[in-house]
Amino acid sequence: MGFLRNTQLEILRILRENEGIFVSGAALAERFAISRPGVWKHIQKLKEMGYDIVSLSRRGYKLIGSPDSLTLEQIVPDLTTRWLGHA
């Protein structure tokens, strides 16, 4: 399992914040100033890493499950320390 790039981390954060709700691919593309196929590529990378993401035409993407193991991407956003535990 590899590390996620900043855009992938941000897409994952947005999907988590909107748990149970579809997030528009067009909105993600606009937010990150990338194409919709670019968003799709980031979603594919997240899927390869074990994130269960549903995509529906004209609806967008929805996170429905995370990998069954702790990853850096799951831990770092919730850290409140200044230096301990940071990569």
Q: Over the stretch 3-47, which tens digit does the pLDDT of each residue have? A: 557 899 899 999 999 988 999 999 999 999 999 999 999 999 999
pLDDT for residue 53 is more than 70:
yes
**Local structure of 85: helix, strand or coil:** coil
Domain assignment of residue 12, given as a range: 6-78
pTM: 0.76
Beta carbons within 10 angstroms of residue 75's beta carbon? 12
Q: Give the number of domains in the chain.
A: 1
Q: Per the domain annotation, does 48 fall within a domain?
A: yes
Q: What CATH code is carried by the domain that includes residue 74?
A: 1.10.10.10
